[in-house]
Amino acid sequence: MRIRNLALVEDLTWSPGRGFTVVTGETGAGKSIIVGALKLLVGERADKALIRSGEDACTVEGVFEVQDRTCLDPQLAELGLEPCEDGQLLIKRVLTSAGTNRQFINGSPTTLAVLKGLGDGLVDLHGPHDHQSILSPELQRALLDSFAGAAAPLGAYCAVYKQRGEVERSLAALHGDDAAFERECALLLFQANEVEAAGLKAGEEEDLLARYAVATQGKRILELSKQVLLKLVDAEDAALGKVAGVGRSLREIERLDPSAASLSAAHVRAVTELEELASEIQRYGEGLELDPEHLHRLEDRVNLIESLKRKYGNTVEQIIAHGESAAERYEKLNSRVEERSRLQAEWVAVSADLQRKAKILRSVREKAALPLAKGIMSHLKDLGFKRAEFAVHLEPLAQPGPFGMEAVEFRFAPNPGEPSKPLRTIASSGETSRVMLAVKSALAEQDTIPLLVFDEIDANVGGEIAHAVGAKMQALGKARQVLCISHLPQVAAKAAHHFVVSKDYSGGRTVSLLQEVNGPERAEEVARMLGGKSESALGLARTLLLESTDR
């Protein structure tokens, strides 16, 4: 890892060793900068206040050795990033005083979210307060599932749980106010049926009103038509007879003056037209319907259309369109009822499947709960809880949850004769630190994260317990890389590699330095941690280091 212009660090390149590495130093020397740099590499949010005073930017670069690229390279390819070369994953983070931060993976720019997602699988970091996370029921459940190898049954359960949630959301969208829904359906059906029953036709209103007007004045029209016919044909002085009577005179004029022949022809046409008019009036009068029932039918039709116009539109065409719209809306709502019935049946089926998946998942957890508790208890005894009791309790839930139908709860009784209670209610900070270390030790075989970081989690412990804490970290370091920031000489002595952070003053500036110590220098640092550099402290430091080497 290379750190430039981060807090008190000007330019530092550091290669922690394999296995268990410890970092020590005086308070305020800058030990936390190492962890801060690691946090930046794995996607933690940053503050420009971290930039070294007087500089425009700081940079942190890290090279992670990848043991198995078969999973990582496809993941990188999916994210549009370059694969690892020579088994190395390169991460770079740049913070600027302007607030524009950048991050790179294998030389390609990426987002902070992508970096964090990748970093979660690279580093498992526990700070002074991170041990409190083990008090979380969610983490306790995840730890049990990890130990149980429950990924497959948990994944199956979660998939069905998600499916059921989608069905429930669809049902909720369809429910609403059932009474209002039923009222709307009934109203739409009534409107559609009313318009359909009317049997309206586009353009019929104009013709209907004309026929209705005639029917209402039928008697008067018949009387007038008879008067016309009488004056044209039937009366003694009928017009047709008078007009026809002038024909003799017109023919005489034509005989005397051949040029007046057109007058006779016009007379013939006039007589013919009057005869046709008389015939049409006679037919018209005979065709009039004076039946009261016919009038009533027309009147009812007119009233029906007027009633529908008041409800659904100003014209027959608008009434027809409203009826069609109501019918279409009703069909949609009716299909909604059918869809709701289908979804309700699907919910029943999915819920039954969820119960089956939950039963399988619970069985896996139940089989693992006791072995996990025993494993943690074994490590807790090494850490000073000789007669404590630890249990992994499964509490059934009334309703399915997102991760099963039981809550997982770690229960702890640090003192003999006391009932076990939820860990979060009774453990002190020092106790929770040791419990977390015991859990990590018990889950060492299942834990796939290659780098485990402990940032001063060994606070509030000392004496033999401190020896035990160091031994646990030493054991964890046999299977993975472990980095610990510590104030405890017993822990520092157990490390395979020991680095010391110190301050140097140069050119009026304070700089944090990091140096690996071995041999006499390491003994002096452990002696300092013990309380001084006296011969007795040095002797005790050498003893601690020798004992750790022997182990």
Please tell me whether residues 316 and 243 are part of one structural domain. Answer: yes
DSSP percent split of the chain into helix, strand, coil, nearest 5 = 60, 20, 25
Please tell me whether residues 117 and 185 are part of one structural domain. Answer: no
What is the rounded distance in angstroms from the CA atom of residue 23 to the CA atom of residue 499? 5
Please tell me whether residues 87 and 195 are part of one structural domain. Answer: no
Q: Does 362 fall in a domain?
A: no
Q: Does 344 fall in a domain?
A: no
- Residue 89: CA atoms inside 13 Å, Cβ hemisphere, count? 22
Rounded to a whole number of angstroms, the distance between the first and last alpha carbons of the chain is 29
Q: Does 346 fall in a domain?
A: no
Please tell me whether residues 115 and 212 are part of one structural domain. Answer: no
Q: What is the pLDDT of residue 429?
A: 59
What is the rounded distance in angstroms from the CA atom of residue 222 to the CA atom of residue 273? 21
Mean pLDDT for each consecutive 10-residue tract of the chain (551 residues)? Answer: 91 91 86 88 86 90 81 78 84 89 90 87 72 74 91 95 93 73 85 92 85 69 71 72 76 80 83 84 72 76 90 91 90 79 93 97 97 92 86 94 94 84 71 79 80 77 81 89 91 93 84 91 91 84 81 54
Q: What is the pLDDT of residue 159?
A: 96
Please tell me whether residues 195 and 289 are part of one structural domain. Answer: yes
Please tell me whether residues 329 and 255 are part of one structural domain. Answer: yes
Please tell me whether residues 228 and 322 are part of one structural domain. Answer: yes
**pTM exceeds cut of 0.75:** no
Please tell me whether residues 116 and 184 are part of one structural domain. Answer: no
Q: Does 16 fall in a domain?
A: yes
Residue 444: φ, ψ to 5°: -55, -40
Please tell me whether residues 210 and 320 are part of one structural domain. Answer: yes
Q: What is the pLDDT of residue 391?
A: 92
Q: Where residue 506 sits, what CATH number does that domain have?
A: 3.40.50.300
Please tell me whether residues 187 and 72 are part of one structural domain. Answer: no
Q: Does 478 fall in a domain?
A: yes
Are 500 and 24 a contacting pair, CB within 8 Å? yes
Nearest-CA neighbor of 538 among 499, 475, 500, 493?
493
414-473, pLDDT tens digit by residue? 888 788 888 777 656 567 777 888 888 888 877 777 888 888 776 666 778 888 888 889
Q: Determine how many CB atoms are found less than 10 A away from the CB of residue 270.
A: 15
Q: Does 373 fall in a domain?
A: no
Please tell me whether residues 184 and 329 are part of one structural domain. Answer: yes
Q: Does 62 fall in a domain?
A: yes
Nearest-CA neighbor of 14 among 483, 503, 472?
483
Q: What is the pLDDT of residue 360?
A: 97
Q: What is the pLDDT of residue 551?
A: 54
Number of domains in the chain: 2
Residues 146, 149, 155, 160: is their CA dihedral positive or negative? negative
E strands, 363-496, in order: 389-401, 404-413, 421-422, 451-455, 481-485
Residues 30, 34, 40, 44: is their CA dihedral positive or negative? negative
Helix pair 292-312, 204-216: axis angle to 10 deg: 140
Domain of 249 in residue numbering reads as: 180-334
What is the rounded distance in angstroms from the CA atom of residue 194 to the CA atom of residue 70? 70
